[in-house]
Amino acid sequence: MVNPKVALTGSRSSLYDSSDPKAQLPMPLPAQLDRYTTRIYLLAVRTPGLTRRQMVAAGIPTSMIDPAIKELVDSGMLRSSGSPDVWEAIPPDIALPALASTYEVRAALARDTAHDLAQLYRTSRARAEEAPSGVAVLSTTEELQSAAETVMASACTEVLACYDDSPRTAHMFKMALEQHRERLITVDGTPLRLRSTFDTSVLQYQGAGDVLLARIEGGEEARFLDSIPFTTIVADDVAAVVDLTSFDTSGGGSLLIRDRRVVLALRALGEAWWSLATPMAWKGLSALDRQSVFILSLLAAGATDSTIAAQSGMSQRTVERRVRALMTQLGASTRFQAGVQAVRRGWI
């Protein structure tokens, strides 16, 4: 039971004056006191003329009775019956709506002052003369490439990457397949986990299917998501690079980040994109041949039949026939249902 007496009172300016005894924010009661005020009120509802002895018999610690009684009386939930140590509950149909109204007023006042208090908080901690630590602004694609290599080399456990449809992503897809198959490892030879979320637009790149397959053979876990706004590469929680070549092809404005707070924020963003993305997987697929898995992965990612045909090396007619066969096998009446059923069965 929240204390309805501890409210936002007085003018706004008084909220910021710690010496003003009325400058109080709504705070909950201590858990122990809150528990016993609720029990005592329920006892009073069931027991006309509730006495201290009855409270003790009901298991209320004697040390909690007086503070709980005071709280209930101040809240308009309980009143003295005129005799010492005897109390009467205010009828619930009167007391509870009044208490709810008090809460509503307090909530409105809290919302009303939230913005001003937030500004006060930030202003009191601002250090305008300092640039953000651990953040380097890059100027060229060469610096960006070097930064990306530095970030990947700093990983000890995992690299989490998200790729938009940028000039650098397109350039990466043009690398030799052998480079894509190379396993990402630490300096001491330990394999790293590599998770990558690709914008679905990369499926339009020439040879994208072969590249994605090569990267998966190299240990990468790949997923697809629409409209990724920029590329990020995050190494554990120690370093990250933000690739902004979609906005400036020179690489200017891209960032190399070592500030752990910013790195953690970018990792959280990458995890959110990963959780929303459609998976592309190849393990444990005894029910399907490899080409069918590839078709289903692209289908679930939103690729059209023409795109699947271009990436798989099959004719569009063959793709359409394979898609229909897979839908029948999955018991799906639509392409979307086929993707859902494939995920449920662990095929992709």
Q: Give CA separation, 264 vs 15, 168, 204, 228, in Å.
A: 33, 24, 32, 18
pLDDT score, position 346? 64
| pLDDT above 70 coverage of the chain, percent | 81
Range of lowest pLDDT (55-64, 99-108, 113-122, 314-323): 113-122
Answer for the pair 243, 264: CB distance below 8 angstroms, yes or no: no
**Closest listed residue to residue 85, CA positions, set 49, 119, 118:** 49
Lateral strand order in the sheet of 193-199: 135-137, 255-257, 239-243, 231-235, 158-163, 193-199, 220-225, 278-280
pLDDT digits (tens, 9 = 90+) for 303-327: 888 888 887 778 888 888 888 888 8
Confidence of residue 29 (pLDDT cuts 50, 70, 90): low
Confidence of residue 169 (pLDDT cuts 50, 70, 90): very high
Confidence of residue 84 (pLDDT cuts 50, 70, 90): confident
pLDDT of 231 over the 60 cut:
yes
pLDDT score, position 123? 64
Q: Which residue has the tokens 């045909």?
A: 309
Radius of gyration of the chain (CA): 31
pLDDT digits (tens, 9 = 90+) for 254-297: 999 999 999 999 999 999 999 988 776 554 444 456 677 778 77
Task: Residue 272: count other Cβ atoms within 10 Å of its Cβ.
Answer: 12
pLDDT score, position 126? 54
Range of lowest pLDDT (6-10, 132-136, 305-309): 6-10
